[in-house]
Amino acid sequence: MSLAAESPSPSPSSSSGSEDFAALLDAELELTSGADSAFDPSASLASDDEEDGEEVVVEEEDAVKEQNSTKRRRVEDQHHDQETSMRPDEDAIGSSKDVQIKICPPHPGFFGGLCFRCGKRQDEEDVPGVPFGYIHEGLRLGTSEIDRLRGAVLKNLLRERKLVLILDLDHTLINSTKLFDMSAAENDLGIQSAASKDDPDRSLFTLDTMQMLTKLRPFVRKFLEEASNMFEMYIYTMGDKAYAIEIAKLLDPGNVYFGSKVISNADCTQRHQKGLDVVLGAESVAVILDDTEYVWQKHKENLILMERYHYFASSCRQFGFGARSLSESMQDERESDGALATILDVLKRIHAIFFDLAVENALSSHDVRQVIKRVRQEVLQGCKLVFTRVFPSNCRPQDQMIWKMAEQLGAVCCSDVDSTVTHVVALDLGTEKARWAVNNKKFLVHPRWIEAANFRWKWQEEKAFPVARPKEKSKENADTSSTKSKENAAAAATNTREESEENAAAAAAAANTKEKMEENADAAAANT
């Protein structure tokens, strides 16, 4: 019985914990199956009068014992941490005592509702654990088994000088659109027809069964090829499983990078969140590439935030961009210095630093999160920033995202200018600090300069992020004033209407009060 056949075949060179577990599970089930067949009472039935038959039975028992001994050694080699013991009973050869398995609970995990060690059926008390359906459908592992497997995977990875790389799909490696979401310009340009061409080097594909188009990000194939030499790679998407598998086939047609390591929304243990709890790789060696920070609330230190890839018009609309999309402009990112090429250089540096530190201390004590933090802080090291009129006046600057981002990149942020300030960050030249920067020949940059440095992981040229002059902002200010005037007028009208209604209600209340007073007076007169 081969369970691994249910999942995509792994790469021959893969050191994945999922493939290791599949091999272990197969070995254990094969051992159990062999033991059951070996001790079948019907196998030892023979006539006492037939000496030749007895010799055949003994030979068969010896062969089975030798076969089971070989299987037993395989399981012991892979599963020795669980203290699985198998001791032949010399006085009862052929009995069930030949195989003794460590008693449960705790159960290491369940497969198809049965403990894969003792065979007990899973009940409500056995629910704790993490499902690993992307490895094998119906597989759930307990905490101790996950820790054991992660420890084994970590040893293998470090021996091969590899880390773990978690890759998001949409807006990170690809961009997809539904056919009915395509713009008129995209239809006029024949984008869908281009995706149907039989070109081995094309990067635009049609997913017929899903009525979608998918565009691979420039440089993605080279990126995966080079990254696979440094990392064991997983796909992790919030998309459906069927969609994830189809995209995995486009990215890895030879199935040499991912194997069964394709995680979809069905595998997440928390709604609208991604987590490393379903990854058989230690957090200390895991690097995440994703365009969305929010979904990694528990693992922000492992995250490298990617610049979103917006190829199709529907993607631009989704994120509120009014400009023409890359597809409508018949343009694309450059392979030589695009987002993936840039991040590949960052990953190479992280990998080099992680393993070069082995000279100073034990490799197993390293933490890639500290390496990521170190490399990130080098981006704006030596830079001292002052922000002017960038944040709302009623907010603490230190709590704003752009301030925190600059500090994470190694910059020093402050509120007042002095001779040590290198950059003033502003939205326009109409502030005193902005004019000070110009007069003192300091760099005056737009906040996008910091954002670009964050995505590109390098100091950007300041002249590419100029600050607009006040006159260039006049139209925007006029539009803003017009909008505010309309809002004020609407508010005034609303207030007037509300006041009128309140006055009417007050008048009605006064009338009611007067009527009640008159009624009371009449009643008093009548009583008198």
Write down the pLDDT at residue 278.
Answer: 96
Confidence of residue 8 (pLDDT cuts 50, 70, 90): very low
Are residues 161 and 355 in contact, defined by beta-carbon separation less than 8 angstroms? yes
Q: For the whole model, what pTM was predicted? A: 0.73
Write down the pLDDT at residue 365.
Answer: 87
Write down the pLDDT at residue 432.
Answer: 95
Write down the pLDDT at residue 129.
Answer: 84
DSSP letter at 218?
T
Partners of 166 in the beta sheet? 234, 288
The region of weakest confidence among 108-122, 148-162, 253-267, 332-346 is 108-122
**pLDDT, tens digit, for every residue of 105-156?**
788 888 888 888 888 888 766 667 899 999 999 899 998 899 999 999 999 9
Average pLDDT of the chain? 79
Mean pLDDT of 66-94: 45
pLDDT of 336 strictly over 60: yes
Write down the pLDDT at residue 386.
Answer: 97
Write down the pLDDT at residue 117.
Answer: 83
Write down the pLDDT at residue 196.
Answer: 83
Confidence of residue 188 (pLDDT cuts 50, 70, 90): very high
Give the position of tokens 């935030």: 305
**pLDDT, tens digit, for every residue of 475-488?**
444 444 444 444 44
Are residues 95 and 89 in contact, defined by beta-carbon separation less than 8 angstroms? yes
Q: Cβ contacts of residue 462 below 8 Å, gap of 6+?
A: 423, 443, 444, 445, 449
Are residues 181 and 314 in contact, defined by beta-carbon separation less than 8 angstroms? yes
For the ranges 75-79, 90-94, 341-345, the one whose mean pLDDT is highest = 341-345
| Cβ density class 181-200: b for 16+ within 10 Å, e for less | bbbeebeebebeeebeeeee
Mean pLDDT of 304-316: 96
| CA atoms of 428 and 471, how far apart (whole Å) | 9
State the maximum Cα–Cα separation within the chain, in Å, rounded to a whole number.
134
pLDDT of 498 strictly over 90: no
**pLDDT, tens digit, for every residue of 226-255?**
999 999 999 999 999 999 999 999 999 999
Q: How far is CA 457 from CA 103, 152, 280, 464, in A?
A: 52, 33, 28, 16
| CA atoms of 430 and 418, how far apart (whole Å) | 19
Residues, the chain: 528
Q: One-letter amino acid identity for 225?
A: E
Q: Where are the alpha helices (DSSP H) in 205-258?
A: 220-227, 241-251
Q: Nearest Cα to 84, choosing from 114, 39, 116?
A: 116
Mean pLDDT of 322-351: 95
